[in-house]
Structure 1
Amino acid sequence: MGPTAAHGHRYPSDIAFTPTVKAMQARLGSRELYARMERDRGWGVSLTPEIAAFIEAQTSVFLGTANAEGQPYIQHRGGPAGFLHVVDEHTLAFADFIGNQQYITLGNLADNAKAYLFLIDYARRRRVKIWGHARVVEDAELIAELMPAGYKARAERAIVFTVRAWDMNCPQHIPQRFEAADVRSALDERDARIRELEAAAAQHEARVRELQAQVARLRESASP
């Protein structure tokens, strides 16, 4: 059997691979592949140090919820790297910054605690999917702990996400894109290296001219 699963599931991936999904996989030819995955590797149920580092490096995430009628909704959440905190191997949390005040996510979570996080790193072409439950916490001390230092945003509540299963997908079809700050940093590093090489080249040229002048003087002194 694969990794330990809870809530009546045999495998962690059963949170997404319902009987109907498995029947669809069987009909379309991928069930054997995923059955082998379930047995041999499976999805994670605890956040590893590698996944935790990936999560806390993200500046943009998507939070999926659904209302009591099953209508799904996806909300974007962003902030400086580290705004999404890994509390422990089963818990994530972040300050819920004040936005357009539609409160769709808050309303959905009041009716249905099931939630989903989608994280994508375009530069390295990696994505992580996390299934679990989320709850709203209005605790000033917790919010203060979760607020990124120096970030100009306000939050009146926090979202605490309990992880039930996660999976890292392959890079297929992910376009490679880079953050503007990363591009600027790379260009600044390149320009600094160019200046360093130009300075070294100028020093070398000056030394060559000095040696040429010495040779010329020696020739003059040696001439009859």
Structure 2
Amino acid sequence: MTNADIVFTPAARRAMEARGSLKAYERRLTEGFPNTVTPELASFIAEQDMAFLATATADGAPYIQHRGGPKGFIKVIDERTLGFADYRGNRQYITVANLSENDRAYLFLLDPARRQRVKLWGRARIVEDDPALIERLFDTGYKAKPERAILFTIEAWDVNCSQHIVTRFSEADIEQALGPEMAKMKARIAELEAENARLKAQGQPADEPSR
């Protein structure tokens, strides 16, 4: 038995066989999936500023929650464990409750700018009584209050295809790409805003050129 059983359950295999795709995954079924953090995975995780964490109740009702923070907010603890700080939010505690009765979890990492995504199956647990761990996972200077830590133990992971990922860039990505041009653009915007304020103070319409 390999950890392929986690990804390709008996029901999934029956569905694949019925639709003619099972044979294409024979090697993966035999060898299984990676379950440790490779340098490539660590590099990918370090670039992410958001993730989707899936949990379920004891009877299997699913729940997905968006998690975010500074780039690299998910930290590699060891070759099998990821961790991140859990910040104060809407105080519904659905994820906390789910993990208290069912530790199965799933992380979906999506990088729209690079059109890449990674799927991770595993187990997760809440840690609320370890200030040192929470401090280790907290990004200094980030404007949020960490209340606890979530540790995710990897059981299997896989790289998903890039099909249908729409390329999107964050503000930080755009600023980095434009470099000095972004600084010039911001300076010009500041000039125009100052000019607009001056004209308003003089009672002159902002769209009418000064004479």
Unaligned 5+ segments in structure 2 are 185-211
Specify which structure has the higher proportion of helix: 1
Q: How many residues align?
A: 183
The CA distance in 1 between the partners of 2:37 and 2:178, in whole Å, is 34
Decide which of 78, 93, 98 is 1:108's aligned counterpart.
Answer: 98
Verify the 8 A CA contact 2:55 2:99 in the aligned structure 1. yes
Q: Deviation per CA, 1:35-59: give whole Å up to 9, x if none.
A: 133346x421111011011112100
Structure 1 position 149 matched with structure 2 position 140: yes
Could you tell me which residue of structure 1 aligns to residue 166 of structure 2? 175
What is the rounded CA distance, in whole Å, between the counterparts of 1:79 and 1:49 in structure 2? Answer: 22
Find the aligned partners of 1:160 and 1:112 in 2 and give their Cα distance.
14
Q: How far apart are the structure 2 equivalents of 1:125 and 1:53?
A: 15
Structure 1 residue 192, shift from structure 2 partner: 7.8
Deviations 1:150-196 (A, max 9, x none): 00111121001111100011111111111121112222345689xxx
- State whether structure 2 residue 68 is matched by structure 1 residue 78: yes
Structure 2 CA distance, aligned partners of 1:108 and 1:163? Answer: 18
> Would you say 1:166 and 2:157 are equivalent positions?
yes
Per the TM alignment, residue 101 of structure 1 is displaced from its structure 2 partner at its CA by 0.6
Please tell me whether the aligned partners of residues 175 and 182 of structure 2 are also in contact (alpha carbons under 8 angstroms): no
Q: 1:64 Cα shift? A: 0.3
Larger Rg over CA atoms? 1
Q: Distance in 2 between matches of 1:108 and 1:81?
A: 26
Quote the Cα distance in structure 1 between the aligned partners of 2:107 and 2:164: 19
1:76 aligned counterpart, secondary structure: strand
| Corresponding position: 1:56 with 2:46 | yes
Pairwise CA RMSD of aligned residues?
A: 1.6
Which runs of 5 or more residues in structure 1 are unaligned? 1-9, 194-224
Cα distance in 2 for partners of 1:76, 1:13 equals: 26
Q: Would you identify which runs of 4 or more consecutive aligned residues in structure 1 move more than 6 Å?
A: none
Question: In structure 2, what is the Cα distance between the partners aligned to 1:43 and 1:151?
Answer: 35
Measure how far apart 1:12 and its partner are. Answer: 2.0
1:108 is matched by which residue type in structure 2? N
Whichever residue aligns with residue 44 of structure 1, its letter is P
Structure 1 distance, partners of 2:26, 2:8, is 10
Does 1:98 pair with 2:88? yes
* TM-score computed with the length of structure 2 as normaliser: 0.82
| 1:216 matched residue in structure 2 | none
The corresponding residue for 1:201 is: none
* TM-score of the two chains, using structure 1 as the length reference: 0.78
